[in-house]
Structure 1
Amino acid sequence: MTGMNRTEEQLAELNQPSLWSGINAYRSDPLIVDLTSGLSRNLRDEFDQIGRYVTSHEAQELARMANQGVPQLHTHGPRGERLDQVEFHPAWHALMRRSMSSGLHSSVWENSPDTRGNEHKARATKFYLTSQLEAGHLCPLTMTSASVAAIMASPRVQKEWAPKILSRKYDSAQKPALQKTAVTIGMGMTE
């Protein structure tokens, strides 16, 4: 660092957080461990797995790439045809895939024996842990979870949309929603 004396260099180094790798975000948080102590062993094991993942080097690198690789709007294809597609970085898709497989968008609606009566607490715990990794991808997952209450008001709409909304698969294909295996709801609001 040119123009800085050794004390300034030391202060600059002290002003940086240590790397957050190899720590279990679940186990290292006594409050969240206490709040979830009455939940099933299966759920606590899942929280433990998420806690290890969000602080892993692999996950931290995905989050960094997802945030540096901002979405790109492609209005036209190479021959001038209209596309109107948004391209997300592959790291964004990896985070979405992982979070959807954890049920961050669907678990409160699944009626699982492991969460019965504690669906929101279980989802909130997963959400809290995952938000320590990367918050941006949680927006569409939150809107998707909230959308289920609205679609349940219409049995016809629920029958058509619920299987795609509640799927734990992630379908990143850019095609009409009803042709996809899974959908998220609300990205239009964000973009």
Structure 2
Amino acid sequence: MNEVRHFWLGISCLIFKVSKTFRYVDTDNELEKQVGGYEHIVVRCPIKIVDENIVETVQKLPRGTIPGDFLDAIVVGMDMLIKKFGSSNKGKTHLCLITDAQYPIKEPYEGTKEDQVDIISQQMKAHGMKLDCIITIGKLSKAINQKILAENDHLLSQFSRKGVAKMRHVGTPTSLLGALRTRTISSVAIFKDEKVVQGSSEERLL
């Protein structure tokens, strides 16, 4: 699982690829077009109900070569949900972040990374959003920076401490798929590192 070099963010099935290539063609999201600062995040498909095809979609995501920023991906996902549903689905929208947390996130323009997590958490609470953090772990190579790994785990845990997220660690691709669960929802959304319709239904969530 240490082979996973990017993370996904899925929104009922809004699938994002956080690219690892420093090229503009590997950036495709509305926030980057509108305000800038959200490079290397690509929306791979529109918001829709999560179904059995989500696993296949995730497995087919192409690998990049340079890490993306998972905080940026969360912000992009939140922005999409807010624009899609406004305040009509408070408490029913879910983001799911899957990451190996092995690569550094960029320094914010103002404040600290912890401040950034606090601001994102406040916005998630204001819009009634919840975040699932799935951290993939496995055999870590000696090249992995343990300090970065610990910092990212701390930042992701901060979402949990703020009451807007749940964290899970998985060690193998099999356990990652096992982290999928089925629940009955009404007008819900999900994320993995890229939608939702009205009405109750049973969906498979990340």
> Shorter-chain-normalised TM-score: which range?
under 0.3
Higher strand share: 2
Higher helix share: 1
The TM-score normalised by the length of structure 2 is 0.27
Of structures 1 and 2, the larger Rg is shown by 1
**Which one has more relative contact order, counting CA pairs under 8 Å at least 6 apart?**
2
